Amino acid sequence: MDDLKKKTILSTLSLFFQSGYSAVLGFAANLVLTILLSPQIFGIYFTVLSIIAILNYFSDIGLAASLIQKKEIENKEVATVFTVQQILVLTVVVIGFFASPFIVAFYKLPIEGKFLYQALLFSFFLSSLKTIPSIFLERKIKFQKIVIVQVVENTVFYLSVIFLALMGWGLNSFAVAVILRSLIGVILIYRISFWRPKIGIDVIALKKLLSFGVPFQMSSFLALVKDDLLTLYLGKVLGFQALGYIGWAKKWAESPIRIIMDSLSRVLFPLFSRFQKETERLSRLIEKIIYYQSALIIPTTLGLALIMGKMVQLIPRYSKWESALPIFYLFCLSSLFSSYSTPFMNLLNGIGKVKISFYFMVGWTVATWILTPILTKFFGVFGFPVTLVILSSSFLLVQQQTKKFIPFSFIKNVIPFLFSGLLMAIVVFVCTKFFATNLFFLLIPIPGGIMTYYLSLYLIFKINLIEEVKLLFK
């Protein structure tokens, strides 16, 4: 158990480091790229990325998740997963390649957009080769080794795209960068977790894997329909510039949950799967997750929302994103709410209740596609973010459903951080209002907010964050 705890903490911290490192690197890249490139180019990039995300979901039928969730796996199961996945991937890549003229004509993409689309198709094939080595590492909860690959990939991608954008390559910067990232990633993952590819399909093993994999993948597919397919719809209805604003706002607003919750989720699913029959242990674990999640996400989301307006005003040539600020604030609220659905969905999947999480995804998908077109018609670019705010508030239903299987307390693990976060927000708001007159003085609200948050937790709720971190490592 102690060894598992060490692996879990090391894996989680490694993923946090990777997310934080990528966020810092991404922040620098975003500053450069959003200064050099137009909102329209960003709109094209997000559109093409969504097309590839759609193709990606047809390359897997939940088999990788089935291998992670199983207690023990056999070589024939691994070979079956690899073979079936490669058949699906190659089929999708070929169809996607021949569909290039249709995609270009439908979205009126420039020639650079076509190159980006085909580069992402090639990248998609290379990424599929990393699946089995990654599964072996995830089953052993050795995410720190996966992180090494991701850090190198992100470094190559962001530095390449920055350099090429500075050289005037425009949209082609993304095309070259994604190919370089994928090639290096495949080589490195096989160096770290070598596996000799084996071809073969065991029908009995495939049926067992599909019994869990299909509902799991259907949930993922519905997430695709709810998010990426909707991005394509918005790009067509609102245009690339409006989609560029939405993409910019969503990317920034969701950065705290991308750093924190994406890292946690990677570890939570295999961890919950390990303890799927131990109700008491799962109860303690989910409460700890809510506790630490609240401690991190609430202040970071509030702080980001409060300083973004000043950043747009003070960073040179960044004022072109000012029109996206109201959209950004709505996405901040929806991302905060939706972050509390993530651990419960992982818990339901980990204990084998994958059909329940699937039903939630069905509801969210149907509601998204009903509300977004209606609200977009009345509110234009604000229709989609308002829809997300409405739907993300349903996290309360998710946690109530989870309580039927695993008892836990939610409110007591959120209230201290919500109250202290609001106090911090007042201090940050006052500081940005009166002191942040240039980029240097914009740094003043940050330490002031951190100190307010820490002291209010300590003085009012007797929570010492420093001691909490020490306790976590004991």
Is pLDDT larger for residue 190 or for residue 268? 190
Over residues 438-449, the pLDDT tens digits come to: 666 667 788 888
Q: Mean of the per-residue pLDDT values for the chain?
A: 82
**Res. 413 pLDDT band, cuts 50 70 90:** very high
For residue 274, name the pLDDT band (cuts at 50, 70, 90): confident
Residue 440 corresponds to which amino acid? F
Query: Which residue did the predictor score with more confidence, 365 or 225?
Result: 365
Output the six-digit token pair for 210.
Answer: 């599909």
Instruction: Check if the beta carbon of residue 22 is closer than 8 Å to that of residue 154.
Output: yes
Nearest-CA neighbor of 273 among 89, 67, 5?
67
Q: Is the pLDDT of residue 400 over 80?
A: yes
- The CA–CA distances, whole Å, from 182 to 5, 93, 129, 205, 465 equal 32, 15, 10, 30, 39
Give residues with Cβ within 8 angstroms of 370, minimum separation 6.
none
Q: What would the mean pLDDT of 351-367 be, rounded to a whole number? A: 87
SS3 10: helix
- The DSSP-derived string for 336-357 is HHHTTTHHHHHHHHHTT-HHHH
Question: Tens digit of pLDDT for each residue in 449-473?
Answer: 899 999 999 999 999 888 877 776 5
Q: Most distant CA pair in the chain: distance in Å?
A: 68
How many percent of the chain have pLDDT more than 90? 27
| Helix H or strand E segment including 184 | helix 172-192
Average the pLDDT over 58-67 and give the result.
Answer: 63
pLDDT bucket at 381, cuts 50 / 70 / 90: very high
Q: Is the distance from CB of 201 to CB of 75 less than 8 angstroms?
A: no
Which range has the worst mean pLDDT, 207-211, 416-420, 427-431? Answer: 207-211
What's the confidence (pLDDT) of residue 191? 92
Confidence check: pLDDT of 299 > 80: yes
Q: Is the pLDDT of residue 298 over 70?
A: yes
Q: How confident is the model at residue 337 (pLDDT cuts 50, 70, 90)?
A: very high
> Which of 133 and 273 is assigned the larger pLDDT?
133
Are 258 and 19 a contacting pair, CB within 8 Å?
Answer: yes
Q: Model confidence at 391, in pLDDT bands (50, 70, 90)? A: very high
Q: How far apart are CA 328 and CA 218, in angstroms?
A: 29
Residue 11 has pLDDT above 70, yes or no: no
Q: What is the pLDDT confidence band of residue 220, given thresholds at 50, 70 and 90?
A: low
Number of C-beta neighbours around residue 392 at 10 A: 19
> End-to-end alpha-carbon separation of the chain, Å?
13
Spatial separation of the C-alpha atoms in residues 346 and 340, rounded to whole Å: 11
Give φ, ψ of 365 to 5 degrees. -65, -50
Averaged pLDDT for residues 388-409:
93
Give, in degrees to the nearest 5, the angle at Cα 278 between 272 and 280.
Answer: 105
**Are residues 334 and 385 in contact, defined by beta-carbon separation less than 8 angstroms?**
yes
Could you report the per-residue pLDDT of 84-122, keeping only the tens digit for each? 888 888 888 898 889 888 888 887 878 888 888 888 889
341 pLDDT tier (thresholds 50, 70, 90): very high
Tokens of 416: 């201290």
Query: How confident is the model at residue 146, as a pLDDT?
Result: 81
* Residue of 320, 343, 336 whose CA lies nearest to 408: 343
Distance CA 306, CA 197 (A): 50
pLDDT score for 3:
65
Q: Is the pLDDT of residue 371 over 90?
A: yes
Average pLDDT score over residue span 264-279: 74
Lowest mean pLDDT among 26-40, 122-136, 148-162, 454-468: 26-40
420 pLDDT exceeds 90?
yes
To 10 degrees, the CA torsion angle through 69, 72, 77, 81? Answer: 30
